[in-house]
Structure 1
């Protein structure tokens, strides 16, 4: 996408310092991979009568690094933990368990770590254990939890059943059995590495993961998720048809734009799309990395903000956009979600990453298939702007690099995951389409999102004014080859099948100010004012602020006062969809949801136009 990441207010959770009165000291053992010994102390550091604050401090007193820890204790029935920080705390009746966060599980010899909690009641912890061992520091268990089993495969799928198989987990003491989880809930415990799930509903989507248990009853991490759709079911109900109808959802939209996954439901858009690209993950140090941890998986949603009307809790393992997307898929099982990496701002990391394509693909696979959110994503979208060409930065890796990348990702992600890419629409002679082997790479890609917008804009501050997303050329167009029709034609000529090309639609306009001429081709004094950035504005604002009063090359434009804007309207989108169908394209995509009206006018036009 051509957009830069918006400036956004990041919420950083402060870590409360626990200074509570002195209480009981309880020795504690260490984690799953234990040293010779480890201890911990519990202190009630503050008591306000109807509640208290408690603190555990763990210390590795052995000679081996600890790579994880889990503390267990019992409270009297009247004593409970109400909130916690720096550990994930759960309970089963009066038995409480605290496990390390992803960032504080490693303890070198001699190192310490603390976590705290608020509670109610007056009781003290008892029967302290660590991984099943004594908490007195003299008997530290050395048993490691089992590894994650392999991501299950599915076979023999019928209207009401499916067979699952997986590769075995490993454990230093041996595997006792496996839990089979359907949509996160345990449905069976088996001793082998396969299971046939029955009693399912025809034409329904399910997600399966597997979790191993060792002979010491320790459970390991869950496997990657496998999506299964049972056969049959008749008419699946209202859906968006066979064409791809894909929208980008931005993680930074939850800040100033106040746009959340639930808006896809309230606008009616969720029922009219087939795919979502979640933007963006970053590319750093040769790897795929998280783009915005708070927005992605930590932001807590209240009941009124949540897709299903259920509020997030402090102790649930996944929150943020990822959990909301999970809820959206449960409500609209036809939707597939891809995680998009790169974008205009973060494309610079691709050059280094492609020095080792297999390692790059492996890092991305591990992140997308992280057990915490593997069921949310159905594949990956690679948004490199641009291979062997210049965007915000320049790449000189050579014309073969894009094909090499797509081949590496298809090899790693396999046939059951979607692998797509957002690519240039520069069809000028010797332009960006000519710079990389998009034709050769097409065999490894499910489709290309051809960015047929941002051809022209107020980065040329004096004009000439021109539609930023022309469908065709027109007399006086500022640059030959800068239009959708020529881009699609050139990609087809290079061997990309029509069905693997999606036409791009911008849910925004680009504009100039200081313009006296209504028709395109006028001069300007600079970019028009915009809500978030000069020279750009959402459709939902422009439709009222500066209504369209002309069309050219299949795109609307508007001259109001001294401002001149070009943008797509429901009418021009409908005509572009008709053109896409006549070209036998695979569908359309758009950047991005929050630019649409509150009732999803542009999404409705895409859906209706493609049929």
Structure 2
């Protein structure tokens, strides 16, 4: 009997799963069927049940200016709440997956005070940096899964080249994710392409197929022992970004989608009108119809994406304007409010103290302090969003990003 090549076993449980897969493929088990490359991905047995996923992004660059380390995920209590971490971002260049910041990822030496387990890195150890710290975090939390996220707003331009040869791209990603130096860190891959066929349907109707072809190639290469996910647009408007790519067609290849249901509005519109950046529902006076989370979810479900493969997105930050006189949404402004790292945006942990919420609208909060106006989620509004998530039968929640929360994980602990 010809035995297919077994993937590298990530654990005894994975080896057992792989052996069972071979037996099934050979028809050795009762009721065994055959699988094809286009068979929808089946959730691994160890994966959290639909509805309970809590996925947080950890930014590679946050270890610099923010001084937010993997250790903070543990000390804040966030690690105990998370089911998955998305490590952001790897680059996409030359049609391949590539390292983002290799020094931060694999080489930076951590002191004992900075390290997850209180042990300092040594000069001669083979792996340092964030990757080694993530390994230490997984040792403390064996059920925690980590995915390497590629792309993001800055590095999404490389997907156009990658889409020309999806199989080669998938191979490069697999080789990088499973590099022997850090092979035990990652349990899968997350794709953050902003955005497929971004010029719209008018530029190239066939461009809608680029995304499912790319995701199909990744699933074929990574197989069922790895997670394959994607962050996708929340633009549910007619002819908008959801319509520009075949997200429904690609759904069979992903374990879940992360629709980015935040940043609907912000101070890039420097004079306003002020509006909450992550409304759950519509409200009277919303500047643009269907720019809210429930419209995003309804559209994706209507296209045939299973609810269990959709996670509700939450921002652990606020967006704001200055020069505002009106307390309620809809006021005029003179520009973006001052932020710690970038004007117009600020972490929740800062806004909670500097500009406490003064009202709620459409399932989220807003705050007026002096001439500044901010919108952001609070533990109370997150509870409202969790009720919606449960009513809709969604697969869970994801958020951008871990360093925006308070030191004791106030927001993540509101996710249920």
Return the TM-score normalized by structure 2: 0.89
Report how many aligned residue pairs link the two structures.
Answer: 385
Q: Counterpart in 2 of 1:473?
A: 282
Q: 200, 205, 211: which is aligned to 1:402?
A: 211
Tell me, yes or no, if the aligned pair for 1:389 and 1:396 is still in contact at 8 Å: no
Q: 236, 239, 249: which is aligned to 1:430?
A: 239
Query: CA, structure 1 residues 397+315, in 2 after alignment: closer, same or farther (shift >3 Å)?
Result: farther
- How far, CA to CA, are the matches of 1:304 and 1:530 in structure 2? 29
Give secondary structure in 1 for the equivalent of 2:207.
Answer: coil
Q: Aligned runs of 1:94-493 on 2, under 5 Å?
A: 151-153=7-9, 243-389=52-198, 398-493=207-302
- How far, CA to CA, are the matches of 2:365 and 2:383 in structure 1? 12
- How far, CA to CA, are the matches of 2:281 and 2:108 in structure 1? 43
Query: CA, structure 1 residues 315+515, in 2 after alignment: closer, same or farther (shift >3 Å)?
Result: same
Cα drift, residue 374 of structure 1: 1.2
- How far, CA to CA, are the matches of 2:234 and 2:214 in structure 1? 19
Bigger fraction of residues in strand = 1
The structure with the largest alpha-carbon Rg is 1
Query: CA, structure 1 residues 595+154, in 2 after alignment: closer, same or farther (shift >3 Å)?
Result: closer
Q: Counterpart in 2 of 1:123?
A: none
Bigger fraction of residues in helix = 2
Return the TM-score normalized by structure 1: 0.61
Tell me, yes or no, if the aligned pair for 1:400 and 1:437 is still in contact at 8 Å: yes
- How far, CA to CA, are the matches of 2:96 and 2:249 in structure 1? 24
Tell me, yes or no, if the aligned pair for 2:51 and 2:394 is still in contact at 8 Å: no
- How far, CA to CA, are the matches of 1:230 and 1:373 in structure 2? 24
Cα drift, residue 321 of structure 1: 0.3
Q: Counterpart in 2 of 1:585?
A: 394
Tell me, yes or no, if the aligned pair for 1:507 and 1:590 is still in contact at 8 Å: yes
Q: Counterpart in 2 of 1:542?
A: 351
Query: CA, structure 1 residues 494+315, in 2 after alignment: closer, same or farther (shift >3 Å)?
Result: same
- How far, CA to CA, are the matches of 2:60 and 2:293 in structure 1? 28
Cα drift, residue 309 of structure 1: 1.0
Cα drift, residue 396 of structure 1: 8.3
Query: CA, structure 1 residues 242+453, in 2 after alignment: closer, same or farther (shift >3 Å)?
Result: closer
Pairing 1:597–2:388 present: no
Cα drift, residue 334 of structure 1: 1.2
Query: CA, structure 1 residues 325+555, in 2 after alignment: closer, same or farther (shift >3 Å)?
Result: same
Tell me, yes or no, if the aligned pair for 1:387 and 1:397 is still in contact at 8 Å: no
- How far, CA to CA, are the matches of 2:56 and 2:113 in structure 1? 24
Query: CA, structure 1 residues 157+336, in 2 after alignment: closer, same or farther (shift >3 Å)?
Result: closer
Give secondary structure in 1 for the equivalent of 2:357.
Answer: coil
Cα drift, residue 578 of structure 1: 1.1
Q: Aligned runs of 1:495-514 on 2, under 5 Å?
A: 495-514=304-323
Query: CA, structure 1 residues 295+457, in 2 after alignment: closer, same or farther (shift >3 Å)?
Result: same
Give secondary structure in 1 for the equivalent of 2:208.
Answer: coil
In the TM superposition, what whole-angstrom CA distance separates every residue of 1:389-446 from its partner, at most 9, and x where no partner exists? 159xx99861111111110100010011000000000001111111111111000000
Give secondary structure in 2 for the equivalent of 1:480.
Answer: coil
Cα drift, residue 153 of structure 1: 3.8
Q: Name which structure has the greater RCO, CA cutoff 8 Å, separation 6+.
A: 2
Give the RMSD, CA atoms, in angstroms.
2.4
Give secondary structure in 2 for the equivalent of 1:465.
Answer: coil
Cα drift, residue 284 of structure 1: 0.4
Tell me, yes or no, if the aligned pair for 2:50 and 2:308 is still in contact at 8 Å: no
Tell me, yes or no, if the aligned pair for 1:501 and 1:585 is still in contact at 8 Å: yes
- How far, CA to CA, are the matches of 1:299 and 1:334 in structure 2? 26
- How far, CA to CA, are the matches of 1:523 and 1:441 in structure 2? 41
Query: CA, structure 1 residues 153+257, in 2 after alignment: closer, same or farther (shift >3 Å)?
Result: closer
Give secondary structure in 1 for the equivalent of 2:184.
Answer: helix
Query: CA, structure 1 residues 594+439, in 2 after alignment: closer, same or farther (shift >3 Å)?
Result: same
- How far, CA to CA, are the matches of 2:7 and 2:107 in structure 1? 25
Cα drift, residue 481 of structure 1: 1.1
Give secondary structure in 1 for the equivalent of 2:190.
Answer: strand
Cα drift, residue 575 of structure 1: 1.0
In the TM superposition, what whole-angstrom CA distance separates every residue of 1:18-60 from its partner, at most 9, and x where no partner exists? xxxxxxxxxxxxxxxxxxxxxxxxxxxxxxxxxxxxxxxxxxx
Give secondary structure in 1 for the equivalent of 2:328.
Answer: coil
Tell me, yes or no, if the aligned pair for 2:51 and 2:308 is still in contact at 8 Å: no
Q: Counterpart in 1 of 2:330?
A: 521
Tell me, yes or no, if the aligned pair for 1:302 and 1:311 is still in contact at 8 Å: yes
- How far, CA to CA, are the matches of 1:246 and 1:411 in structure 2? 24
Runs (4 or more) in structure 1 with deviation over 4 Å come to: 154-158, 161-165, 239-242, 394-397
